[in-house]
Amino acid sequence: MTAVVTGGAGFIGSHLCEALLERGEEVVCIDNLLTGDIRNLDDFIDDPRFRFIEADIGEGLPEDLPAPDVIFNLACPASPKDFEALSLEILDVCSRGMVNVLELARESGAVLVQASTSEVYGEPEVHPQIEDYWGHVSSVGERSCYDEGKRYAEALVMAYRRRHGVDARLARIFNTYGPRMRIDDGRVVPNFVCQALGGRPLTIYGDGMQTRSFCYVADTVAGLLALADADPGDIDVACPAYNIGNGTEITVLEFAECVMDACGTSAEVQRVPLPQSDDPTRRRPDTSKLTALTGWRCETDLATGLALTTEWFAAKLAETIGRAAQGPDRGHRDVSVVSRPRDHTHGL
């Protein structure tokens, strides 16, 4: 079996590549390293069944790709902090990039798992969120590039399913956390963990009463694999979308307490105005549809997941401080570069 993973050098993508290799599959990882990090591949980049290609899927896919049996399309910046700085890149990868991936699926007959998101529900009026809910999304808010980009990608998937019979499935991924998140990506998990480990106040945006449901990355990856493995005849044709996430919902304030417990600290909290007006107030997945399809369930509770995550961040922070003390980084690994990331302002 050959799997292509776009965005494979990112946080979830790198864990997915690793899990596919552990299952004995050949893995081709494509990433333009815009928000991905080549160091995320350190544990398996030398595996002979693994190949890394630096390329931007918006520009077209590399020509010498082996025909895949399965494609996971995870390429897209995903942190709210990226939504301002990389808005055009996000819209590009969700449109041109999505078409290129769908064409590969059409030509090869591969199963395609498209990484969609809880953000397609926007500020939800239905709670918990079920896949049949159409969402409540601002097309002009700060998050619109991501929310509407991912909704457009879902529409492209449906058009290719209906017109070309592509076997594409939509994985609506809810907040996922774990090792290999970017330290500075601005999301609540890296922010709180790094603040707690550094003895700094935890920044609570708004009143902290907004809720999220945090899923450990191993559970998210298991959900993606289960969805890919599902029999095509069992997929819901009218709505091939499946939520992946953890059903335990907590407020941001409660989450701050959990992070302090995991780090063994009792840092202060600092109130900060909400940076984005369309920050959803409630979010919890109903995952019964994927469980009914595949038997998949979350296995990692928040305390266990946070312990693994804070351990990784502590080591990463120590390494970063050590590298800074040594001067410029000379240890960066050479990789086979098939195409350079393009000038991201050109043609947009």
Q: Of the listed pieces 7-15, 131-139, 200-208, 320-328, which binds ligand UDP according to CB under 6 A?
A: 200-208
Distances 322 to 39, 102, 194, 308 between C-alpha atoms, Å: 16, 43, 16, 21
Bridge partners, 129 (sequence order): 285
In the complex, the smallest distance separating the C-beta of residue 328 from ligand UDP, rounded to whole angstroms, is 30
Q: Are strands 269-272 and 241-244 parallel, antiparallel or unpaired?
A: unpaired
Applying CB under 6 A, among 15, 172, 212, 284 the residue interacting with ligand UDP is 212
Under the binding rule (CB under 6 A), the answer on residue 203 touching ligand UDP is yes
In the complex, the smallest distance separating the C-beta of residue 78 from ligand UDP, rounded to whole angstroms, is 8
Q: Is 196 helix (H, G, I), strand (E, B) or coil?
A: helix
Under the binding rule (CB under 6 A), the answer on residue 80 touching ligand UDP is yes
- Beta carbon nearer to ligand UDP, 105 or 215: 215
Q: Which of residues 90-149 bind ligand UDP (CB under 6 A)?
A: none
Q: Return d(Cα 168, Cα 317) in angstroms, integer.
A: 39
Q: Of the listed pieces 45-53, 106-114, 183-191, 307-315, which binds ligand UDP according to CB under 6 A?
A: 183-191
In the complex, the smallest distance separating the C-beta of residue 300 from ligand UDP, rounded to whole angstroms, is 18
Q: Of the listed pieces 42-50, 205-213, 227-235, 332-340, which binds ligand UDP according to CB under 6 A?
A: 205-213
> Is the distance from CB of 54 to CB of 337 less than 8 angstroms?
yes
> Is the distance from CB of 22 to CB of 49 less than 8 angstroms?
no
In the complex, the smallest distance separating the C-beta of residue 84 from ligand UDP, rounded to whole angstroms, is 13
Applying CB under 6 A, among 70, 137, 166, 204 the residue interacting with ligand UDP is 204
Give the pair of three-digit tokens for residue 264.
């063994």
Sequence-distant (6+) residues with CB within 8 A of 84 are 142
Q: How many residues does the chain have?
A: 348
N-term to C-term CA, the chain: 36
Q: Which of residues 213-272 bind ligand UDP (CB under 6 A)?
A: 252
The answer to whether residue 205 is catalytic is: no
Q: Is 177 helix (H, G, I), strand (E, B) or coil?
A: strand
Which residue is catalytic, options 121, 146, 160, 216? 146
In the complex, the smallest distance separating the C-beta of residue 253 from ligand UDP, rounded to whole angstroms, is 8
Best CA proximity match to 63, nearest among 34, 95, 30, 92? 30
- Beta carbon nearer to ligand UDP, 143 or 161: 143
Count of residues engaged in binding ligand UDP, rule: CB under 6 A: 13
Give the pair of three-digit tokens for residue 318.
């120590």
Applying CB under 6 A, among 187, 284, 289, 316 the residue interacting with ligand UDP is 187
Q: Return d(Cα 214, Cα 246) in angstroms, integer.
A: 6
**What amino acid occupies position 20?**
L
Q: Is 242 helix (H, G, I), strand (E, B) or coil?
A: strand
Mind telling me the catalytic residues? 146
Can you give the binding site for ligand UDP, defined by CB under 6 A?
Answer: 80, 175, 187-188, 191, 203-205, 210, 212, 252, 274, 279
